[in-house]
């Protein structure tokens, strides 16, 4: 409705500008039936919607975010063993319940939901990174 009003106002303004440019004797001598239509300049206002898509997550960014998450996880016993290839149980000393908590924290970090079957297969940082990289809606 607002857009239609703006278009109408712009069209009226352009038509009045064309009428003002014509000499006075042409307006008097021509009748409306014989008057040729003068094309008005293209004056329109259109809205353009731009949608941005994320450029995707890089592997370094995903790895860094997971590493930060694990650094702040209080049950990681030895943070010196934390690396991109660390295994949750063997290297970091996490039990199965802790691993579930880490996977839930990864879900929250990347705003995704990991199905139970796939969550059970994530046992290391590299597996978590591979899973996140395969998800197009992770951010």
CA–CA separation, 88 and 93 (whole Å): 6
Q: Answer yes or no: 120 catalytic.
A: no
**Long-range contacts, stretch 2-11, CB < 8 angstroms, 24+ apart:** 3/45, 3/47, 6/45, 7/44, 7/45, 10/43, 10/44, 10/45, 11/40, 11/43
Question: How many CB atoms sit inside 10 A of residue 1's CB?
Answer: 5
**Catalytic pick among 60, 68, 78, 95:** 95
CA–CA separation, 31 and 100 (whole Å): 85
Kindly list the catalytic residues.
95
């Amino acid at each position: 409705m607002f857009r239609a009003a703006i278009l109408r106002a712009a069209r009226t303004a352009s038509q009045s500008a064309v009428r003002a440019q014509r000499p006075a004797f042409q307006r008097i001598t021509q009748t409306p039936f014989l008057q040729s239509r003068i094309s008005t300049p293209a004056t329109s206002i259109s809205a353009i919607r731009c949608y941005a898509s994320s450029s995707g997550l890089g592997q370094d960014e995903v790895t860094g975010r997971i590493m930060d998450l694990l650094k702040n996880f209080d049950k990681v016993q030895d943070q010196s063993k934390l690396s991109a290839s660390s295994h949750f149980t063997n290297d970091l000393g996490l039990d199965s319940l802790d691993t579930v908590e880490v996977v839930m924290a990864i879900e929250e970090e990347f705003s995704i939901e990991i199905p139970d079957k796939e969550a059970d297969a994530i046992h290391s940082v590299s597996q978590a990174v591979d899973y996140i990289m395969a998800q197009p809606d992770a951010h």
